[in-house]
Structure 1
Amino acid sequence: MVTRFGLPGTNFRAGAKAEPPAAADAETIASLSTRLDAAAQVRLGRSLAIRHVNTGSCNGCELELRALTNVVYELERFGLRFVDSPRHADVLLVTGPLTRTLRATLEQARLAAPDPKWIVAVGDCAVDGGVFKGSYAVLGGAGLAVPVDLTIGGCPPSPARILAGLRSLLEANAARKG
């Protein structure tokens, strides 16, 4: 077995070995799927478009957001998808502490998104500045620039936690509408 950079379990032919999801995760994901689908049907018809807005993060939360699109979580089977423009988005997912230089970007993304829209702060940094709180370049959490509908804490939050947060947002708004 030829290892690459001396890392065990990695070789040029087979690549790294992925761990299968835990049984509890599989049950949680199945439950989330059913509940997300029901809530999304009431609120949005068949799908939910998500635009990710990075306001200065370390990319830890971005890795977890991208994990939502892998074969374990497969975000699109729930009717959720990432879009490239805030003009097509129902949800703005904000990651990272609100920096001075990216405050205007977040405000512009919010103005570009059509109504009704939700803003979700993902990760401790987007909630209140996280470990970067107190830095001269950081203003704090996303709530200082735009009204936040949901906060999902964690450094970084797991993909299952992000899905659960989106589900709770959909269910809460479906109950208000119904």
Structure 2
Amino acid sequence: MKFKKIIIWLIVFFVLLAGGRYIIKEYIYPYKYSNIINEYSAKYELDPYLVLAVIKTESNFNENAESSKGAKGLMQIMDSTGEWIADKLEVENFETKMLFDPEINIEFGCWYLNNLLSEFDDLSLALAAYNGGSGNVTKWLNDPEYSSDGENLTYIPFKETKKYVDKVSTRYNVYKFLYE
């Protein structure tokens, strides 16, 4: 009888565990816009789980999100950054309202992340630049108060940027754990 109870409890435990993973994947860490994310993460040589982590952190998958500073869409791209990227990608007749379009926003965000990774050759630095600006990251790298070697940051002076890097990094690891 005791053995039967143990087996039943084990079955219940594993059913709850499997159901919990489903709930987490479906509602907390979803893989929305998968076709668009897969297309542009491949085009710009990014891990799609990184793109998902950025979107989760930036807008929580709200394509109509607009920050108090004016960042727009899923990947929260500023108007000036969107115009610069549109110019680099030779997008004709670009208007900043187009940043609310998931496909345009994800393509621009992936291009920008790739650009920052190429510039800084480090994920944490690229994420800090995505949030705090590449000019600030370059300035911090050249300041011995924030970088001892000019290549790594020992301290990120913007609290929001430090929290952002930590959040995206954690969510990136969660996405990899859930979907790999």
- TM-score > 0.5 by shorter chain: no
Bigger Rg, structure 1 or 2: 2
TM-score by length of 1: 0.29
TM-score by length of 2: 0.29
Q: Which has the higher contact order (CA 8 A, sep 6+)?
A: 1
Larger relative helix fraction: 2
